[in-house]
Amino acid sequence: MGFADEKWFVIVNPVAGGGRGLDHFPLISRLLREAGVHAEPVFTEHKFHAVELTVTAVKEGYRHIIVVGGDGTLHEVVNGLFIQQEVTPSEVLLAMIPVGTGNDWARSFGTSNRYQDAVRNIVEGEAFLQDVGQVSYEESQFRQTRYVANVAGVGFDAHVIRQISHQEKRGFTRRWHYTINLLRSYFGYKPTGIKIWVDDKRVFNGLVFSIALGICKYNGGGIQQLPDAVADDGMWDVTLVKPIHIWHVLFRLKYLYNGGIYRIGHVRHARGSKIRIESTPEVSLEADGELLGETPLEFSILPRAIRVVVSKEFAERKEERG
């Protein structure tokens, strides 16, 4: 199909990937220009600026947006699409050129970290309607709502994200820092008593180490916490990890990356369109790598709610599977 002839609004996060957004954008801009992509770039200047830029772009008539950033930037753009009132979110086509630390959303759809290939996706790729998650949570004694494009994490996942955000402020942004922090943070985190309901049926009541809820498969820079997730099936995939000894993790580390996580005995899997989580005491929530609030949490699904550019290979595999 391809979308080179369209006019694209380009949201660039200059601090994504430890400054790659800024340093590499001259190259990305040249590749877009050489590919014949009509691009209007704007740089984000503060947190949530991508939300504001998305709302403004749609109001000004743009219906094609390229995100030059990471999962957090995409998270803001998707939330901007649901804040704006001009059109339904799926009328805007999103593409991504990944320059972040993890780039997990892009990985799910076959978007390469090589800029030439990411630009080729825009020129030759296909459009795909993916689900979007919605989560309500507690923050400063108020209920808040946020939209999720990739994966949300509860408990230990959010604890690791908090450690990473502290390190990023100090300039550490390597992709493997997630794995290092995952192992290091283990010793400072205690499992929490949690109740989980899936489609109004209670499926778990006990101590939980971590929970991942996903539209897509990956988080943490390539970890397949949700290997069975399908991005347009109208369901949340849920991976629940019960209290587990560090040696069980170390000896089965390969399962985190090769899709075999459910072969670990302490890991359970569920799937549903509506998830409710309560805990004592409260535990933290992250979504798309962004720290949010705390339990109680309610998750729902907006089926096929945004239109995104995917690789031709992803589209062909999807068609083969029906």
Query: Which tokens belong to 240?
Result: 């629940």
Q: Is the dihedral of CA 182, 185, 190, 192 positive or negative?
A: negative
Q: CB atoms < 10 A from the CB of 69, how many? A: 28
What is residue 316's predicted lDDT score, i.e. its pLDDT?
83
| 3-state class (DSSP) for residue 101 | coil
pLDDT confidence band for 4 (50 / 70 / 90): low
From CA 142, how far away is CA 157, in angstroms rounded? 23
pLDDT tens-digit readout, 27-71:
999 999 999 999 999 999 999 999 999 999 999 999 999 999 999
Of 154, 183, 171, which Cα lies nearest the Cα of 283? 154
Pairing of strands 7-12, 64-69: parallel
Q: CB atoms < 10 A from the CB of 54, how many? A: 27
pLDDT tens-digit readout, 82-102:
999 999 999 999 999 999 888
From CA 197, how far away is CA 201, in angstroms rounded? 5
Span 5-25, mean pLDDT?
91
The residue that leads in pLDDT, 250 or 118, is 118
Per DSSP, the residues of 114-128 read: SHHHHHHHHHH-EEE
pLDDT tens-digit readout, 211-222:
999 999 999 888
Per DSSP, the residues of 130-150 read: EEEEEEEEEETTEEEEEEESS
Contact call for residues 99 and 111 (beta carbons, < 8 A): no
> What is the distance of C-alpha 257 from the center of its chain?
17
CATH 2.40.50.140 assigned to domain 7-124? The reply is no
- H or E segment at 163? helix 156-169
What is residue 314's predicted lDDT score, i.e. its pLDDT?
87
Contact call for residues 13 and 41 (beta carbons, < 8 A): no
Q: pTM for the full model?
A: 0.91
What CATH fold (topology level) applies to the domain 133-303?
Answer: Tumour Suppressor Smad4 (2.60.200)
Taking CA 202 as the corner, what is the angle to CA 201 and CA 207, rounded to the nearest 5 degrees?
160
The residue that leads in pLDDT, 77 or 141, is 77
Taking CA 223 as the corner, what is the angle to CA 217 and CA 229, rounded to the nearest 5 degrees?
15
Please list the residue range(s) of the chain that carry CATH number 2.60.200.40.
133-303
Give the chain's mean pLDDT.
90
Span 146-166, mean pLDDT?
85
pLDDT tens-digit readout, 159-198:
877 776 655 544 544 555 555 666 666 777 889 999 999 9
What is residue 181's predicted lDDT score, i.e. its pLDDT?
61
Q: 116 pLDDT exceeds 70?
A: yes
Q: What are the beta bridge partners of residue 213?
A: 152, 238
Of 243, 241, 285, which Cα lies nearest the Cα of 263? 241
What is residue 60's predicted lDDT score, i.e. its pLDDT?
96
From CA 206, how far away is CA 241, in angstroms rounded? 11
Taking CA 107 as the corner, what is the angle to CA 284 and CA 186, rounded to the nearest 5 degrees?
35
Please list the residue range(s) of the chain that carry CATH number 3.40.50.10330.
7-124
Contact call for residues 275 and 238 (beta carbons, < 8 A): yes
What is residue 94's predicted lDDT score, i.e. its pLDDT?
97
pLDDT confidence band for 227 (50 / 70 / 90): very high
